Amino acid sequence: MSSRPVIGVATQTLEAIPGKLPSCWVMGQRYVRVLTSCGAVPWVIPLLQDDEATLRAIYDRLDGVFLTGGVDVDPSRYGEERHPLCDHTDPPRDWTELTLIRWALGDGKPFFGVCRGIQALNVACGGSLYQDVPSQYPDAIKHDCFPSANGFTRDYLAHPVRIESASRLSRLLGTECCTVNSMHHQGIKKLAPGLTATAFAPDGLIEGVEAMDKRFVLGVQWHPEELADDPAAPMRRLFTDFVSAACQRIE
């Protein structure tokens, strides 16, 4: 790749530990390393809430936006009261990510979101979320296979997903069914206007969305970065196609 596209990756707040650590912005290395291995130049973005001028100056230098997993989206962002099982939220991250999504969609910049990223996309476009799938979604299978020392790993394949045949997702993965990892307790409730659902868990929960037009706007509920080590792995194609779409903006 002669010119490497710059991909923005919003961070998450790490609260201060009194006497040990000030407030920090953090992001998992795995996302950044996979993007880099696919030819991108990742730009890790600070959460300067309400400083729109600085965020815009960063955004204008980006060729694509990638949003990762993380804490829950605050339900006030989609007009709901907090459910007792809604977990920790990060308002500066919500503001930053929703702003980036709306700008990217308005300008046609490629967007790719995983886990929380698909949820943020849905909220930014006017949709809503189940704040706790196990308690709010009828007949839910187990989606919250979070890693632990004696339990699941991040690459644990938890359940199959059904993929719509005519979708970008099906084209990239080369299949209409695959098995994915699963580390989330929230999920899409009301699908936002302008998005189409393209992948579903066995219980019917939405696992993938795309823009209705030809723009590269893609979200998946699982964590493909954990399944992308092999250069021939289907999940890696989600990243390589995203980076290629971003590269087209600088050619």
Question: How deeply is 4 buried, as exposed, middle or buried, from its count of CB atoms within 10 A (0-12, 13-18, 19+)?
Answer: middle
Task: Give one word for 50, left, alpha or beta, with left for phi > 0 and alpha for psi -120 to 50.
Answer: left
The whole-angstrom separation of Cα 237 and Cα 175 is 12
The answer to whether 239 touches 36, Cβ cutoff 8 Å, is: no
Query: Could you tell me what percentage of the chain is helix, strand and coil, using 3-state DSSP and rounding each to the nearest 5?
Result: 30, 25, 45
Which residue in 11, 63, 27, 46 sits closest to 242, CA to CA?
63
Could you give the residue numbers annotated as active site?
115, 223, 225
Count of C-beta atoms within a 10 Å radius of residue 40: 26
The whole-angstrom separation of Cα 193 and Cα 190 is 9
Which letter does DSSP use for residue 90 in this model? Answer: -
Which residue in 54, 65, 123 sits closest to 89, CA to CA?
123
Q: How many residues does the chain have?
A: 251
Q: Burial code of 211-244, b = ≥16 C-beta within 10 A, e = fewer?
A: beeebbbbbbbbbbbbbbeeeeeebbbbbbbbbb
